[in-house]
């Protein structure tokens, strides 16, 4: 059943209910159902690919300016690196000189007509001293959960973030941003990340993920690494007339709860005429709520098998991230839980 059909049916339950208000009531009911249980359609399996760090040899910076200018050679090398890693946009990466400030890259002009150089636009004024022809680096340490190659804006919580090269799970709840600021204020811990930490919303107004929470990988990856993401989503409301509910959740369950809200509205807006001239909205509220609870148990029981199967397929780690390890294929090592 389409969203439009659901709205039409709800409108028929309370004749004086404004049709525009049916959108609010149905989505309110759908949101309540999503938050009551762990549903299979709210579980996600995503991916991050950390790009290789780019190191340039000559950039010109100006204190108090939000633009920096690369040499032609660095610009050409950067263009090649971006082509080789399309999974990480330049506007998703960060810029820094030595151990100075870590800046988000908000813009990228590869063909500056006046000088033939490349200009990077930073998220704020460059705070360090002005310099000409100094080395710099561009890498990515802030990430947004991604599913099917697209970022999601309804992230809820992590189940696991797994380094597939070393086959170990990162900590997702060990540190906060404040903890990292105490342990590594300059963010000079590089190599193999051990933690995923909530960072800050994407503040770039031109970004497709504007205001979406980003996560920091600490210590910052400086070479290509692949991460498997397992987590839960909040789900999104119905918007378009042709939108439909997930197949594991019936429209009758959502509409039953939406009718409770509609009958509540009718009870609050009834006139002062004797009760006998119209429906008993309070009685109908109780009946609709009972119907909703019965249907919810049926659909939840049927979906529980899908949830269990999902967790069986994506087995979580056995705590191996707490122990030191060495990967002979990648020639890498980490001290594990003592980090």
Q: Which residues, 6+ apart, have CB-to-CB distance to 19 below 8 Å?
A: 7, 11
Residues 142, 311, 231: CA angle, nearest 5 degrees: 20
The pTM assigned to this predicted structure is: 0.84
Which residues make Cβ contacts (< 8 Å) with residue 167, sequence separation at least 6?
320
In this predicted structure, what is the pLDDT of residue 61? 95
pLDDT of amino acid 311: 81
Q: Please tell me the predicted confidence (pLDDT) of residue 338.
A: 45
158 contacts 171 by C-beta, under 8 angstroms: no
Residue 246 corresponds to which tokens in the numbers above? 């997930």
Q: What's the rounded Cα separation, in Å, for the pair 321 and 167?
A: 9
pLDDT at position 325: 54
Residue 339: per-residue pLDDT: 44
Cα(173)–Cα(196) distance, integer angstroms: 8
CA trace torsion 271, 256, 44, 206 (10° rounding): -20
**pLDDT value at residue 246:** 95
Domain residue extents for the chain:
3-39+246-313, 52-139
pLDDT of residue 272: 58
What pLDDT, on a 0 to 100 scale, did the predictor assign at position 192?
86
Cα 149 from Cα 318, distance rounded (Å): 28
Q: Which residues of the chain, if any, have pLDDT below 50?
A: 276, 319-320, 338-339
Please name which of 145, 238, 314, 44 lies closest in space to residue 246, comparing C-alpha atoms.
238
Q: In terms of Cα–Cα distance, which of 283, 238, 282 is closest to 30?
A: 238
Beta bridge partners of 149: none
| Helix (H) or strand (E) run with residue 59 in it | strand 54-61
């Amino acid at each position: 059943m389409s969203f439009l059909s659901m709205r039409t049916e709800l409108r028929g339950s309370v004749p004086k209910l404004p049709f525009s208000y049916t959108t609010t009531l149905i989505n309110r009911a759908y949101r309540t159902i999503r938050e009551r249980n762990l549903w299979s359609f709210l579980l996600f399996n995503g991916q991050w690919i950390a790009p290789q760090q780019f190191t340039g040899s000559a950039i010109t910076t100006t204190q108090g300016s939000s633009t920096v200018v690369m040499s032609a050679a660095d610009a050409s090398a950067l263009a090649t690196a971006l082509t080789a890693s399309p999974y990480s946009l330049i506007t998703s990466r960060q810029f820094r000189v030595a151990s100075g400030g870590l800046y988000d890259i908000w813009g990228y002009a590869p063909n500056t007509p006046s000088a033939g150089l490349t200009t990077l636009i930073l998220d704020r004024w460059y705070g360090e001293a002005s310099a000409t022809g100094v080395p710099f680096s561009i890498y990515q340490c802030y990430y947004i959960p991604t599913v099917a190659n697209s970022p999601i804006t309804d992230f809820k919580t992590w189940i696991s973030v797994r380094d597939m090269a070393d086959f170990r799970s990162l900590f997702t709840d060990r540190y906060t941003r404040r903890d990292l600021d105490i342990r590594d204020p300059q963010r000079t811990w590089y190599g193999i990340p051990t933690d995923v930490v909530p960072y800050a919303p994407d503040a770039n107004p031109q970004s497709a993920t504007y205001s979406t929470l980003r996560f920091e990988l600490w210590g910052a990856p400086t070479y290509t690494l692949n991460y498997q993401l397992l987590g839960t989503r909040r789900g999104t409301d119905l918007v378009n007339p042709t939108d439909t509910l997930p197949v594991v959740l019936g429209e009758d369950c959502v509409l039953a709860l939406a009718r409770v809200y509609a009958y509540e509205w009718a009870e609050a807006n009834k006139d002062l005429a004797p009760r006998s001239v119209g429906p008993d909205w309070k009685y109908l509220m109780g009946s609709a709520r009972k119907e909703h609870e019965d249907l919810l148990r049926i659909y939840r029981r049927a979906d529980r098998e899908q949830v269990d199967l999902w967790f069986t397929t994506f087995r979580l780690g056995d705590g191996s991230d707490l122990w030191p390890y060495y990967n002979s294929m990648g020639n890498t090592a980490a001290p594990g839980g003592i980090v």
